[in-house]
Structure 1
Amino acid sequence: MSRSRSGSGYNNWVSGLRNDFSRSLENRRRAEAEAEKPPSSANKVDRVHWYIKDNAKTHNTIKYDLVHDDKDPKPVLRRGQTFYLAIRFRNDVDIKRDRIVLNFKFVTVQNTKFTKTKDEWDCRIDPGTRGNDLVLQVYSPASAMVGIWRLDVRTGLQDINQPGMELFSEETDCFILFNPWCKDDSVYVEDDVKRQEYVINDKGKVYVGAYRKSRGRAWAYGQFDDVALPVAVYILELSRVADAERGNPVRVVRGISAGVNDSDEEGILSGRWDGEYSDGVAPYRWTGSVRILEEFVKNGYKPVKYGQCWVFSALVTTICRSLGIPCRSITNFVSAHDTNSSLTIDKFFDKEGNELEGGPDGENWDSVWNFHVWNDVWMARNDLPPGYGGWQAIDATPQEESDHKMQCGPVSLQAIRRGDIGLNYDAPFVFAEVNADIMHWGEDENSDWGWSRMKMNKYHIGRAILTRNPGKDDDDGDADQEDVVNDYKNAEGTQAERLAIHNAIRGSSRAQQYYQYNKDIKEDVFFDLIDIDKISIGEPFQVKVVIRNDSNEQRKVSAYLSARSVYYTGVNVSLIKKAEGTFSLAPKQTQKLVEQCMIKIYAISRVKETGQTWTDEDDFQVEKPKLEIQTSEDIQVRKTCKATFSFTNPLDMPLTDCQLSVDGAGLMRPKAIKIDGEVAAKGKFSHTIQFLPRIHGERKIIASFNAKELFDVAGAKTVTVKKEQ
Structure 2
Amino acid sequence: IELGDVDLNCPSNCQIHNTHFFGTDRQIIRRGQAFNFYASFHNREWDDSVDQATFTVETDDPVYLDNQAQREEYILNEHGILYEGVHKHITSRPWHFGQFEDGILDICLKILDMGASYHHGSDRDHCWRNDPVHVSMVVNHMISSHTTNSIMKIPENNDYLKGTKPFSWNGSVPILQQWYNGRCRPVRYGYCGSLASVMCTVMRCLGIPSRVVTNFCFPCSNENPLGVNEIFDSTGKNLCGKDKLWRYHCWNESWMARRDLNQCCGDWQCLDPTPLETGRGSACSGPTWVRSIREGDLDLDYDGHYMFSRLNSNYAGWLSQNNAKKTKVFCDTWPCGQQLITKSVGSEQFDDITGNYKYELGSVKSKEAYYRAYRRIHPGYCNASNCHIDRELSSLKNPFLSDSGINTRLKMANCPMYGEDVQLHWLLENLRNEPKNLKFNLCAQIITYNGCPMDQFWKDNVTVALGPREVKKIPLCVSYSQYGPYLNDHNIMKVVAVSDPDCGEVLMVSRDIVINRPPVIVKLLSQPRLKVPCTAEISFCNPLQEDMKNCIMTLEGCGLFKEPMTIDLGTLASNQQARTIVEFTPYRLGSHRLLANLGCHKFAYCKGCAKAEVCNHVGQNGSLPVSQNGSLPACENGSLPVNSSGVAPAGDPGLNSTCEYICIPVCNPNCNPGGPPVFDFVYLPAGHPLCNSICNPGFNPNFNALFDPGCDPGFRVICETVPPATCTQMPPTVYSSMPVTTSNPAGPPMPHVVFETGSTSVHQPGGGAGPMPYSVSVPANNAVSVFKVLLDSVKQEEICGTVEDEFTVYGVMKPRNNV
Write out aligned runs for 1:173-212 (5 A).
Answer: 184-212=60-88
Residue 243 of structure 1 aligns to a residue in which SS?
helix
1:70-116 Cα distance to aligned partner (Å, 9 max, x none): xxx321111223433445566546789xxxxxxxxxxxxx96354xx
Q: Which residue of 1 aligns with 2:345?
A: 470
1:214 equivalent in alignment to 2:166: no
Match of 1:81 among 33, 42, 55: 33
Write out aligned runs for 1:273-352 (5 A).
Answer: 274-348=157-231
1:27-64 Cα distance to aligned partner (Å, 9 max, x none): xxxxxxxxxxxxxxx9585x543211111122221222
C-alpha contact (below 8 Å) 1:338/1:367 kept by paired residues: yes
Residue 439 of structure 1 aligns to a residue in which SS?
strand
Match of 2:411 among 531, 534, 540: 531
Q: Which residue of 1 aligns with 2:21?
A: 63
Write out aligned runs for 1:116-515 (5 A).
Answer: 122=55, 139=57, 141-142=58-59, 184-241=60-117, 242-272=125-155, 274-348=157-231, 357-358=240-241, 365-384=242-261, 390-441=267-318, 453-454=328-329, 459-473=334-348, 480-509=349-378, 515=393
Change over 3 Å in CA distance of 1:567–1:441 after alignment to 2: closer
Change over 3 Å in CA distance of 1:623–1:355 after alignment to 2: closer
Write out aligned runs for 1:589-628 (5 A).
Answer: 589-590=470-471, 595-597=476-478, 599-605=493-499, 612-628=505-521
C-alpha contact (below 8 Å) 1:330/1:375 kept by paired residues: yes
Match of 2:457 among 568, 576, 584: 576
Quote the offset at 1:325 in angstroms. Answer: 0.7
Q: Which residue of 2 aligns with 1:106?
A: none
Change over 3 Å in CA distance of 1:111–1:453 after alignment to 2: farther
Match of 2:442 among 561, 571, 594: 561
1:113-132 Cα distance to aligned partner (Å, 9 max, x none): 54xxxxxxx26xxxxxxxxx
Match of 2:559 among 663, 666, 669: 666
C-alpha contact (below 8 Å) 2:411/2:426 kept by paired residues: no
What is the one-letter code of the residue matched to 2:301?
N
Change over 3 Å in CA distance of 1:629–1:377 after alignment to 2: same
C-alpha contact (below 8 Å) 1:378/1:390 kept by paired residues: yes
Percent of aligned positions that are identical:
25
Q: Which residue of 2 aligns with 1:707?
A: 600
Q: Which residue of 2 aligns with 1:147?
A: none
CA RMSD after TM alignment: 3.4
1:200-233 Cα distance to aligned partner (Å, 9 max, x none): 1011111112222222211111101122212222
C-alpha contact (below 8 Å) 1:388/1:412 kept by paired residues: no
Quote the offset at 1:323 in angstroms. Answer: 0.5
Change over 3 Å in CA distance of 1:582–1:628 after alignment to 2: closer
1-structure distance, mates of 2:299, 2:500? 40
Quote the offset at 1:555 in angstroms. Answer: 4.4
Match of 1:112 among 44, 52, 69: 52
Change over 3 Å in CA distance of 1:43–1:722 after alignment to 2: same
Change over 3 Å in CA distance of 1:582–1:390 after alignment to 2: same
TM-score normalised by L of structure 2: 0.65
Q: Which runs of 5+ in 2 are unaligned?
A: 118-124, 382-388, 484-492, 618-809, 811-819
2-structure distance, mates of 1:648, 1:350? 39
TM-score normalised by L of structure 1: 0.73
What is the one-letter code of the residue matched to 1:81?
Q
Q: Which residue of 2 aligns with 1:135?
A: none
C-alpha contact (below 8 Å) 1:699/1:721 kept by paired residues: yes
C-alpha contact (below 8 Å) 1:203/1:219 kept by paired residues: yes
Change over 3 Å in CA distance of 1:608–1:583 after alignment to 2: farther
2-structure distance, mates of 1:240, 1:420? 29
1:644 equivalent in alignment to 2:537: yes
Quote the offset at 1:568 in angstroms. Answer: 1.2
Residue 300 of structure 2 aligns to a residue in which SS?
coil
Higher relative contact order (CA closer than 8 Å, sequence separation 6+): 1
Higher Rg: 2
Q: Which residue of 2 aligns with 1:148?
A: none
C-alpha contact (below 8 Å) 1:555/1:608 kept by paired residues: no
What is the one-letter code of the residue matched to 1:59?
H
C-alpha contact (below 8 Å) 1:564/1:572 kept by paired residues: yes
Change over 3 Å in CA distance of 1:301–1:87 after alignment to 2: farther
Quote the offset at 1:673 in angstroms. Answer: 0.6
Residue 507 of structure 1 aligns to a residue in which SS?
helix
What is the one-letter code of the residue matched to 2:582?
I
2-structure distance, mates of 1:575, 1:354? 7
1-structure distance, mates of 2:341, 2:563? 26
Answer with 312-321 or 251-260: which moved more.
251-260
1:565-590 Cα distance to aligned partner (Å, 9 max, x none): 12111211211112346666554444
Q: Which runs of 5+ in 1 are unaligned?
A: 1-41, 97-109, 115-121, 124-138, 143-183, 359-364, 445-449, 474-479
Quote the offset at 1:304 in angstroms. Answer: 1.2
Q: How many residues align?
A: 585
Residue 260 of structure 2 aligns to a residue in which SS?
coil
Residue 144 of structure 2 aligns to a residue in which SS?
coil
Answer with 487-496 or 635-644: which moved more.
487-496
C-alpha contact (below 8 Å) 2:411/2:427 kept by paired residues: no
What is the one-letter code of the residue matched to 2:229?
D
What is the one-letter code of the residue matched to 2:393?
Y
C-alpha contact (below 8 Å) 1:80/1:185 kept by paired residues: yes
Change over 3 Å in CA distance of 1:307–1:113 after alignment to 2: same
Quote the offset at 1:619 in angstroms. Answer: 0.8
C-alpha contact (below 8 Å) 1:525/1:547 kept by paired residues: no
Residue 78 of structure 1 aligns to a residue in which SS?
coil
C-alpha contact (below 8 Å) 2:148/2:186 kept by paired residues: no
1-structure distance, mates of 2:18, 2:104? 17
2-structure distance, mates of 1:666, 1:689? 16
